[in-house]
């Protein structure tokens, strides 16, 4: 009895269940492309992105132990003294490679009117934590690119600089293999999803995958020091959307990621189910190329009640481990030189859906014009808006 009580006391609490569709990549990879099961799963994937801007992806190739090895490495890395971390900073490259230390990244939304309007349209109970003071996010970040260099002269070479490998001995040797293994898992999974999404939208399967072949993909974990920022309602990453095509999250050891389902206005506390699952959310490039049919998903990372419970449980269970919240995030991009002109079929459907939403009395805000441009131009425009304190 006492043993059972002790076990219960040290159990890691679970977050509330999440109401997002689960898409099975195994069905797509293992069954004939023209089978009804594959077609149905692809339509489910596309509809999930249209309705929620997010989905849970099941891929049996994704191994929990690769995620654990990655989280252990990043916890060890960010537990280092600041002077060691600073050696991996590249401010001259606008922090697009290597480490970004805490209080550097500012949430764009706090100074962006369309984004503030999104918050204003949410019911008060569904709003993110108040970002109006717009102080920079108290989180660190590491950008590790996972790219295939383009076989042509790119117009955007600034986005294609060399990776930084940390030089601390016990981290250096583990770094590249661990980052590449977990990063490749997430990259393969999301590339499968790009094919499913294209099929579900009635496009050739390779439409997005080919368009992203030479994209500046980034494994981009964040780290939040919970000994400093573990109080309830601390904002670790303020309300925002991502500028890439799709963002993938592996399972974090600490809850706290909230996402907003586009067509429901509901805040969802993310819990990735155990066993080969990833969370995928739409970014700005997917929004642009579909003419707004799929909208970039808003999200925030905060310390909520469940984060606090897990901090307490892990402090008891693993007193010798660093108390750092690592998010294993992967940004999948289209190639910088790819033409981002909205695909006419998708843009037409977007207009229809917008009219339907309007007739149902749902306010989706001002109509957005998706001008033809290259992917690299969209990225540069977005980066110009993100205030970086250097
Ligand atoms: Fe984000």
pLDDT of amino acid 253: 93
pLDDT of amino acid 162: 83
If one compares 283 and 383, the residue with the highest pLDDT of the two is 283
Q: Which of 234, 236, 254, 237 is nearest to 309 (CA)?
A: 254
Task: Using pLDDT thresholds of 50, 70 and 90, give the confidence band for residue 110.
Answer: low
Say how many Å lie between the CA of residue 241 and the centre of ligand 1: 6
pLDDT in tens, 152-162: 998 987 555 78
Distances in whole angstroms, Cα of residue 155 to Cα of each of 230, 337, 343, 375, 385: 43, 7, 22, 11, 21
Say how many Å lie between the CA of residue 370 and the centre of ligand 1: 21
Say how many Å lie between the CA of residue 54 and the centre of ligand 1: 13
pLDDT in tens, 28-67: 999 999 999 999 999 999 999 999 999 999 999 999 999 9
SS3 of 10, please? helix
Tell me whether residue 116 is exposed, middle or buried, using C-beta atoms within 10 angstroms of its C-beta: 0 to 12, 13 to 18, 19 or more. middle
pTM over 0.85: yes
**Token pair for 367:** 């109509």
Say how many Å lie between the CA of residue 240 and the centre of ligand 1: 6
Task: Using pLDDT thresholds of 50, 70 and 90, give the confidence band for residue 380.
Answer: confident
pLDDT of amino acid 103: 66
Say how many Å lie between the CA of residue 299 and the centre of ligand 1: 6
If one compares 125 and 3, the residue with the highest pLDDT of the two is 125
Say how many Å lie between the CA of residue 178 and the centre of ligand 1: 22
pLDDT of amino acid 11: 37
Task: Using pLDDT thresholds of 50, 70 and 90, give the confidence band for residue 135.
Answer: low
Which CATH number is correct for 2-389, 2.60.200.30, 3.30.230.10, 3.20.20.210, 2.60.120.330? 2.60.120.330
pLDDT of amino acid 111: 65
Say how many Å lie between the CA of residue 242 and the centre of ligand 1: 5
What are the residue ranges spanned by the domains of the chain?
Answer: 2-389
In the predicted model, is pLDDT for residue 189 greater than 80? yes
| Average pLDDT over every residue of 320-349 | 95
CA atoms within 13 A on the CB side of 139: 25
pLDDT in tens, 80-109: 999 999 999 998 888 889 999 876 666 667
In the predicted model, is pLDDT for residue 71 greater than 90? yes
**Token pair for 228:** 């400093």
Task: Using pLDDT thresholds of 50, 70 and 90, give the confidence band for residue 16.
Answer: very low
In the predicted model, is pLDDT for residue 15 greater than 50? no
C-alpha torsion angle, residues 259, 265, 267, 268 (rounded to 10): -70
| Average pLDDT over every residue of 378-386 | 77
In the predicted model, is pLDDT for residue 13 greater than 50? no
CA distance 164 to 90: 9
Say how many Å lie between the CA of residue 111 and the centre of ligand 1: 16
Handedness of CA 145, 172, 277, 220 (dihedral sign): negative
pLDDT in tens, 236-256: 888 889 999 999 999 899 999
In the predicted model, is pLDDT for residue 18 greater than 60? no
pLDDT of amino acid 388: 39
pLDDT of amino acid 375: 96
Task: Using pLDDT thresholds of 50, 70 and 90, give the confidence band for residue 270.
Answer: confident
Percent of the chain with pLDDT over 90: 65
Task: Using pLDDT thresholds of 50, 70 and 90, give the confidence band for residue 381.
Answer: confident
Say how many Å lie between the CA of residue 239 and the centre of ligand 1: 8
pLDDT in tens, 282-322: 999 999 999 999 999 999 999 999 999 999 999 999 999 99
If one compares 209 and 115, the residue with the highest pLDDT of the two is 209
If one compares 130 and 296, the residue with the highest pLDDT of the two is 296
Say how many Å lie between the CA of residue 13 and the centre of ligand 1: 25
Strand order from edge to edge, sheet including 257-260: 235-240, 299-302, 257-260, 267-269
If one compares 357 and 308, the residue with the highest pLDDT of the two is 308
Say how many Å lie between the CA of residue 188 and the centre of ligand 1: 20
Q: Collect residues with CB below 5 Å from ion ligand 1.
A: 242
pLDDT of amino acid 128: 83
């Amino acid at each position: 009895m006492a043993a059972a009580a002790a076990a219960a006391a040290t159990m890691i609490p679970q977050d509330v269940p999440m109401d997002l569709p689960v898409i099975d990549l195994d069905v797509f990879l293992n069954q004939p492309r023209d089978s009804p099961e594959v077609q149905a799963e692809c339509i489910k994937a596309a509809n999930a992105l249209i309705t929620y801007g997010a989905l849970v992806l099941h891929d049996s190739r994704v191994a929990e132990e690769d995620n654990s090895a990655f989280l252990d490495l990043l916890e060890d890395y960010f537990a280092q003294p600041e002077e060691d971390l600073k050696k991996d900073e590249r401010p001259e490259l606008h922090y697009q490679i290597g480490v970004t230390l805490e209080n550097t990244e500012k949430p764009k939304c706090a100074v962006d009117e369309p984004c503030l309007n999104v918050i204003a349209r949410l019911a008060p109970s569904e709003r993110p934590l108040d970002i109006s003071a717009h102080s920079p996010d108290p989180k660190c970040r590491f950008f590790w690119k996972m790219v295939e260099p383009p076989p042509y002269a790119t117009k955007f070479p600034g986005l294609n600089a060399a990776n930084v490998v940390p030089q601390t001995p016990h981290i250096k040797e583990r770094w590249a293999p661990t980052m590449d293994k977990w990063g490749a898992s997430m990259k393969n999974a999301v590339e499968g999803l790009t094919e499913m999404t294209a099929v579900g939208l009635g496009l050739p399967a390779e439409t997005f995958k080919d368009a992203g072949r030479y994209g500046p993909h980034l494994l981009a974990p964040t780290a939040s020091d919970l000994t400093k920022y573990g109080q309830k309602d601390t904002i670790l990453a303020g309300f925002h959307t991502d500028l890439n095509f799709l963002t993938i999250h592996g399972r974090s050891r600490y809850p706290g990621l909230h996402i907003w389902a586009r067509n429901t206005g509901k805040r969802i506390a993310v819990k990735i189910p155990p066993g080969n699952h990833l969370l995928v959310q739409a970014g700005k490039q997917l929004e642009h190329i579909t003419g707004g049919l799929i909208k970039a998903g808003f999200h925030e990372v905060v310390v909520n009640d469940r984060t606090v419970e897990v901090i307490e449980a892990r402090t008891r269970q693993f007193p010798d481990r660093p108390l750092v919240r690592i998010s294993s995030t992967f940004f999948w991009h289209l190639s910088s030189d790819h033409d981002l002109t909205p695909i006419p079929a998708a843009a037409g459907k977007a207009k229809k859906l917008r009219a339907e939403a309007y007739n149902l009395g749902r306010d989706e805000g001002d109509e957005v014009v998706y001008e033809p441009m290259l992917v690299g131009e969209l990225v540069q425009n977005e980066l110009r808006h993100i205030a970086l304190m250097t």
